[in-house]
Chains A and B, each alone.
Chain A
Amino acid sequence: MSATIQKPGQPAAAPETARSARSLVDAVFRAREISIAGALVLLVLFTWIAEPRFLDGQGIKDLLLNAAILVLLAVGQSVVVITRNIDLSVGSVVGLSAFACGKFVSGTDHGVLTVLVLGVLVGAGCGVVSGALVSFGRVPALVVTLGMLYIIQGVDYWWAQGAQINAADVPQSVLDLGSGSVLGVPYLPLISFVVLAGTAYVLRTYRGGRELYAIGSSPEAARLAGVPIRRRVLGAYLFSGAVSGFAGALWLARFGTVVADNAHGWELTVVSAVVVGGVAIVGGTGTVWGAALGALLLTTISGALAVLKVDSFWQDAIAGALLLAAISVDRIVRVRMTRALRKRSAR
């Protein structure tokens, strides 16, 4: 219910109320991202004071490198979640694509660009299948992508047969992408940032992007408004798959060593990042910026715990508690806001 309220461009009966309402809504949602960023800054400051090595050159580099791949996946996932769907197959797509790319480059040198394109194609292929099943088969996304998770994982295991790709077989040019940097900033976070900014721009500016929000807010209304729902949802899955495949290629570049179950179980971490970042699981709201902040926050927490020498056993528990806190606060704020809006329009 509240999900439909802040949809931009929604016609309202009384323009005056609508404008003030929208500015309030905008403020709350900007506040949402600011509060995640604030939590992030506090966390970093606290950890830095306790252990200054956290923010030395290598520390920052590690933090950015660790976050890069999760941020990419979170960007892809948000686009799907905004349409009120979900893609549980992302972890297995990363594994498959990393392994495919590894096999492809093993002992040869095809050049970095070819490897990245291959990764994107593998991922896009998986995304198209999931997307077609969800949009044209009109079946629940959770079930289909859960099935796809098993299928892709099985194919990957079957193909790998317990073998692994070793860093020694991966050409230096590919490994350089994972470890190199420009002006001290590693390539991977830069790439993630470019994808993030590009996606954010498209979602915000283009009609196709806005329509994804419309679909998530109210599929029925979107259909009546002439939004090509099936094509858009298919597109969202295609994008999520392609980004995951791309992330798989980057995984290879970063780690060099690849086994069949890379990124196993990551799907739930990615969904957590997206939800912490304020993309509502019921669709229609949230930005990829928020999702990226969510991913950065989750990565920073595990980094901080490691630096502070907190038992790594606490990591999952803290991440889970944080996710619950984030969505609860979000929900409470939203309920309050809806009430405030109702009071205003009643006046």
Chain B
Amino acid sequence: MKLSAIKLRWDTAVGVLLVAVFITGLGTTDGFASHDNLAFAFNDIAEVALMALPMTLLVVAGQVDLSVASMLGLASALTGELWDAGWAFETIVPIVLLVGVVGGLINGWLVTRVGLPSLAVTIGTLALYRGLASVVLGTGAITDFPETYAKWAVDTTTVPGTFLTYPVVLFIVLAAVAAVVLHATGLGRSLFAIGAQEDAAYFAGIRVKRVKLLLFVVSGLISAFAGIVFTLRYGSARADNGQGFEMLVIASVLLGGVDFDGGKGTLFGAVAGVLLIGVLKNLLTLNDVANEVQVIVTGLLLVASVLTPRLITTVSAWRHRRAAAQAG
């Protein structure tokens, strides 16, 4: 009983670590607490944070979607190309979101109907969607997005009275929705069941395939949306936008204590993981720590996040055994 209590606390530990890093930043780094910097710091990870939400649900259900960053790139390329062709932004958005849904359907269909592992499927669509992005836009960039649209994503436009930008507010709303779905609904419970024991979940009457399909569709949709946000934030549509983000998204989720084997994790942990990576990145940058070191820190955190809970379990199991031996 004690062991499981320790295991469950990993996400709390990440939350505490996040607060500690934040306080360290306030105490040690000039300009960290400034309105502008905080707005920048959180806006800077907006897309990764958005994509981490469906990823959390997927990983809890024992699945993974490696194609998210490619979908972001495809959405960005499409947004740019259509804008360049003179389409209205109000028309572009639904089209791009629809493409995200179709991309998610392809992933979900291959996983649920053909019965392939999601890792293999999404490695394939990672290449496919990124490839389509470069087919759409080539190596060029489209940059002339007007202020009217761009202002909604940049970090200089904040919700009045706060340091929160609009993408971040959107993230907060979606995170709340995801938390309620995952932890307070039957659908959420079924995700845990699927992740823990898919066959058992099926025999318990959960429509496993339908649930999985839904998750991949949501993931595609949010990734396409993140593509639009990214495009407006940098004012630049490129086919290689967000390249490699899939690793960062997965790293954040796993850092937050969501078990890659499925069936375990909290949305709180995942959000704490995303924010920890974001705050740490900002703090290290402000302190002139080289980008290379930031990459190493991310890697070490990731390894520590899976290793520490195991170590704690092992040590306490050993102690327990020793105590039992002494008592007996």
Interface contact A268-B127, CB-CB below 8 Å: yes
Of the candidates A140, A316, A320, A335, the one whose C-beta lies within 8 Å of that of B306 is A140
Q: Is the CB of B131 within 8 A of A151?
A: no
Q: Which residues of A contact B115 (CB under 8 A)?
A: 331, 335
Verify if B274 is at the interface (C-beta below 8 Å from A).
no
Q: For residue A151, which residues in chain B have a CB less than 8 angstroms away from its CB?
A: 295-296, 299-300, 303
Which of B126, B250, B290, B294 is within 8 Å of A146, CB to CB? B250
Q: How many A-B residue pairs have CB under 8 A?
A: 149
8 Å CB contacts to B: which residues of A140-165? Answer: 140, 142-144, 146-155, 157-158
| B-contacting 9-mer, from A18-26, A67-75, A180-188, A321-329 | A321-329
On whether A320 and B310 interact (CB within 8 A), knowing A149-B247, A327-B121, the answer reads no
B130 and chain A: residue at smallest CB distance = A316
- Which of A29-37, A108-116, A131-139 lies at the binding interface? A131-139
Q: Which single residue of chain A is at the shortest CB-CB distance from B66?
A: A268
**B125 touching A320, Cβ below 8 Å:** yes
Give the shortest distance, in Å, between B59 (CB) and chain A (any CB). Answer: 10
Interface residues of B in 77-128 (CB under 8 A from A): 110, 114-117, 119-121, 123-128
Closest chain B residue to A268 by CB distance? B123
Report whether A320 and B260 are in contact in the complex, using a CB–CB cutoff of 8 Å. Answer: no
Contact across chains for A281 and B131 when beta carbons are under 8 A apart = no
Partner of A313, one of B127, B135, B260: B135
State whether the Cβ of A314 lies closer than 8 Å to any Cβ in chain B.
yes
Q: Assess whether B132 is interfacial by the CB under 8 Å rule.
A: yes
Q: For the complex, would chain B's binding face be called helix, strand, loop or mixed by DSSP majority?
A: helix
Are B131 and A318 closer than 8 Å at their CB atoms?
yes
Query: Distance (Å) between the CB of B58 and the closest chain A CB?
Result: 13
Candidates B117, B134, B247; contact of A282 at CB < 8 Å: B117
Chain A contacts of B119 at CB under 8 A? 86, 142, 281
Q: Is there an interface contact between B135 and A314, defined as CB atoms closer than 8 Å?
A: yes
* Interface magnitude class on chain A: 35 or more
CB nearest neighbor in A for B243:
A265
Chain A 204-229 per-residue mask, 1 if CB under 8 angstroms from chain B, else 0: 00000000000000000000000000
Q: Confirm or deny: B5 has a beta carbon within 8 angstroms of a beta carbon on chain A.
A: no
Shortest Cβ distance from residue A23 to the other chain B in the assembled complex, whole angstroms:
26
Given A138, A143, A324, which contacts B121 in the complex, CB threshold below 8 Å? A324
CB B186 to nearest CB in A, in angstroms, measures: 28
Residues of the B chain whose Cβ atoms lie less than 8 Å from the Cβ of A154: 292-299
Task: Classify chain B: how many residues form its interface, as a range.
Answer: 35 or more
Whether A157 touches B303, Cβ cut-off 8 Å, given contacts A315-B131, A317-B127, is no
Confirm or deny: A253 has a beta carbon within 8 angstroms of a beta carbon on chain B. no
Shortest distance from the beta carbon of B38 to any chain A beta carbon, whole Å: 25
In the complex the two chains form, is B247's CB within 8 Å of A324's CB?
Answer: no
Any A CB within 8 A of the CB of B144: no
Chain B residues near A313 (CB-CB < 8 A): 131, 134-135, 138-139, 239
Kindly state whether residue B129 has any CB partner on chain A within 8 Å: yes
- A-B pairs with beta carbons under 8 Å apart, 25 shown: A140-B259, A143-B303, A146-B250, A146-B251, A146-B299, A147-B300, A147-B302, A148-B299, A150-B295, A151-B295, A151-B303, A154-B294, A154-B295, A157-B291, A265-B243, A268-B127, A281-B120, A282-B117, A313-B135, A314-B131, A316-B131, A317-B130, A318-B131, A323-B123, A332-B114
The 6 closest A-B pairs by CB, nearest first: A317-B131, A150-B299, A320-B128, A316-B131, A320-B127, A154-B296
Chain B residues with a Cβ under 8 A of chain A: 64, 66, 110, 114-117, 119-121, 123-132, 134-135, 138-139, 239, 243-244, 247, 250-251, 254, 259-261, 290-303, 305-307, 310-311
